[in-house]
Amino acid sequence: MKIEFAPIEIPTSGSLIIFLAEGDGLTEFAKSVDTFTEGAISRAIELNSYDAKLYSTLIIEAPHGLSLNRILLCGLGKASEFSILNIQRAGATALKALAHCKEESVDLAIESFSEMGMTDVNLALEIAYGLKLGSYKFSKYFTNEKNSVSSISINTANVLVNDHLDAQNIFSIRSEVAKGVNLARDLISEPGNVKYPEAIGRDIMNLQELGIDVKLLKKNELEKLGMGALLGVSQGSEKEPIVAIMHWKGNPNSSKETPVALVGKGVTFDTGGISLKPSGGMEEMKYDMAGAGAVIGTMRALAGRKAKCNVVGIVGLVENMPDGKAQRPGDVVTTMSGQTIEVINTDAEGRLVLADVLYYAQSKYSPSVIINLATLTGAVVVTLGSHMAGVFSNNQNLADNLINAGKYVGEDIWQLPLDVRYDKEINSAIADMKNVGKSREAGSIAGAQLLQRFVGNTPWAHIDIAGVAWMKGSENSIVPKGASGFGVKLLDRFVNENYEDL
């Protein structure tokens, strides 16, 4: 969606959205519109007992005295109880309330409220950000846009606000994060026959246009590095694996010389391999690269807004398929670190990919911290459902900073334990470790315990996003059904708060 900013004045056509706070009555602009309509807004509020509760909407069709098609009122709740997330979601809610109107553009009038503690410009920025996130749709494969699941036809939003030039300049930077989120959503939504390792590698190469240094390690180089665990996952597929490295050096003079390392699991399609998954729902396994998608989206966001930080993003891209060359349950693989893993279940493949990529990240870059994201386990879905991701860490300060960043942007994570008692459950009888623990117990912890063996003493956090990467229904107005893009906003905020020289 295209977002434009303009002075606040009554438009001459189309639909107008006015935001109200619960108990605050009409804003000054709303009063002027009400005067032109000879009290149409006031009458509609009274007749419908409209109280501007959070996310509530009221449509006034063909208002008298104006050439507008309609006026939409949208509630922000009590100004004294506002949150940035609620404002973003209110913007997207208002947009979706006009989905049936089949208009291509809409005007939104923005005025702050005395108890809100926000300027008009800041309120406008949050609403515009919500519009950018909430208007996302993946309709690439519809031959007729009208058949799309999303019926929103609006493609331009005119945000009407005082100091509109300041708002436009600031938002041009802010919107880069939304572009990163939506890039992640696009990559995750694509089917496996379109976005396989090499294809995603080409997408990553395009990030060079933003100033990111990109390097793709292909099969022969991975073999030389000794990435036996990652290569074992890919050996049943015709699609060759790739490890993609994206390095953003946004502040070469920074005192923070060692980079933040972001690592993502990128299984572009996961059949489970020889340990074949049930057929029901397997089509969704295109989202098993959501961890990689989040890392790619974050790197795009950081570069797009010219973040003053040193961050390297590394993603392991493989396809997990069953054929005559596929690895078997019982096989033993040797990782880049030299440690060996007995493969008990070929559907526990993400930790095999990450074992090599994590070791590569810590040995190659000596990063200040490593954060990996992965749709690693179904067990974390059983534990936390679709509302939170699980986080495991060997450093409490790192975990706390990630949790706080997640709360701020609405991507909640909940800390789960690491403990030597769980570590013993992945010890193998014939190798250094096995890739699963007890069959039905603490599966997400077992996965995290294995990953911990490949990061050395580096402060590290593993975020298991299996329950939040792909939404069965829309979580809220800025998170669509399907690919959520979870992790981009969280990581961008984390880097901004803790590793960016401002």
3-state secondary structure 156-217: EEEEECCCHHHHHHHHHHHHHHHHHHHHHHHHHHCCCCCCCHHHHHHHHHHHHHHCCEEEEE
pLDDT over 90 for what percent of the chain?
Answer: 91
Same domain, yes or no: 130 and 238: no
Q: Give the global pTM.
A: 0.97
Same domain, yes or no: 283 and 234: yes
Asked if residue 172 belongs to a domain, the reply is no
Same domain, yes or no: 354 and 435: yes
Asked if residue 171 belongs to a domain, the reply is no
Same domain, yes or no: 241 and 294: yes
Same domain, yes or no: 344 and 459: yes
Cβ(138)–Cβ(185) under 8 Å?
yes
CATH of the domain at 191: 3.40.630.10
pLDDT number for residue 148 = 62
pLDDT(151) > 60:
no
Same domain, yes or no: 258 and 128: no
pLDDT digits (tens, 9 = 90+) for 202-231: 999 999 999 999 999 999 999 999 999 999
Same domain, yes or no: 77 and 44: yes
Residue type, 314: I
Asked if residue 167 belongs to a domain, the reply is no
Residues designated as active site: 277, 351
pLDDT(100) > 90:
no
Same domain, yes or no: 245 and 303: yes
Asked if residue 408 belongs to a domain, the reply is yes
Asked if residue 115 belongs to a domain, the reply is yes
Asked if residue 173 belongs to a domain, the reply is no
Residue 488: in which H helix or E strand, if any?
Answer: helix 488-498
pLDDT number for residue 342 = 98
pLDDT mean over 483-489: 98
Asked if residue 174 belongs to a domain, the reply is no
Range of the domain at 402: 179-498
pLDDT(104) > 80:
yes
Is beta strand 389-393 parallel, antiparallel or unpaired with respect to 413-415? parallel
pLDDT mean over 235-246: 98
Backbone angles phi, psi at 206, to 5 degrees: -65, -20
Same domain, yes or no: 434 and 323: yes
pLDDT confidence tier of residue 475, bands split at 50, 70 and 90: confident
pLDDT(502) > 70:
no
> Which domain-ending residue is among 106, 134, 162?
162
Same domain, yes or no: 201 and 315: yes
Backbone angles phi, psi at 305, to 5 degrees: -95, 10
Residue type, 87: I
pLDDT mean over 108-115: 89
Return the exposure string of 71-110: e unless at least 16 CB atoms fall within 10 Å of the residue's CB, then b: bbbbbbbbbeebebbbbbbbbbbbbbbbeebebebbbbbb
Same domain, yes or no: 476 and 334: yes
pLDDT mean over 61-88: 95
For 434, the 3-state DSSP assignment is strand
pLDDT(499) > 90:
yes
Asked if residue 169 belongs to a domain, the reply is no
State how many domains the chain has.
2
The residues, any chain, with a CB within 8 Å of residue 419's CB and separated by 6 or more, are 445
Cβ(484)–Cβ(287) under 8 Å?
no
Backbone angles phi, psi at 157, to 5 degrees: -120, 125
Same domain, yes or no: 69 and 145: yes
Question: Tokens 């959205």 sit at which residue?
Answer: 17
CATH of the domain at 26: 3.40.220.10
pLDDT number for residue 208 = 98
pLDDT mean over 454-474: 96
> Which domain-ending residue is among 108, 133, 162?
162
